Amino acid sequence: MTQFESGIKMIPYSQEQVYAKLSDLNNLESVKDRIPTDKVQDLQFDADSVSVSVPPVGRLTLHIINREPPKCIKFEAGNSPVPFNLWIQLLPVGENECKMKLTIKAEINMFLKGMVSKPMQEGLEKLADMLAVIPYN
């Protein structure tokens, strides 16, 4: 099992506000226009899953498999060439601020590890950066 972690991002909203928005994926509608279309296409979602077309990987689906209010949301990948889980962890800093860290644990064989480690880490950082700047009110 290989683990990737994003840097810790500060978010100027309470832990509860951020959790409430991210734990119901229907809320992605409000940030859909911020997602770069050169990287991600055909975004579809409901309350518990999100699916996108990612060239050259193909269609990728993430399902929420565990919610731990207001601290953690755990996702599992479906239709992925590399099986992985994604965690969004939230920690309160103050009344109107929290910290967020993303973690991916993936089953990557040694042959693929050299090829996919850098893109996985970069993708995780970009996702964390995007989640850190969306409005949570």
Domains of the chain, CATH where assigned: 2-131 (3.30.530.20)
* Per-10-residue mean pLDDT, the chain, length 137: 97 97 89 69 88 79 97 93 93 96 94 88 90 90
Q: How far is CA 101 from CA 2, 42, 71, 73, 131, in A?
A: 17, 26, 11, 11, 10
Q: Report the alpha-carbon distance of residue 14 to residue 95 in Å, rounded.
A: 6
DSSP state letter for 129:
H
Whole-number pLDDT of residue 82? 82
Digit-coded pLDDT (tens) for 24-47:
999 887 777 766 666 667 888 899
Q: Is the pTM of this model over 0.85?
A: yes
Q: Among residues 22, 3, 4, 15, which one has the least CA distance to residue 64?
A: 22
Whole-number pLDDT of residue 125? 94
User: Nearest 5°: CA angle at 34, between 48 and 98?
Assistant: 65
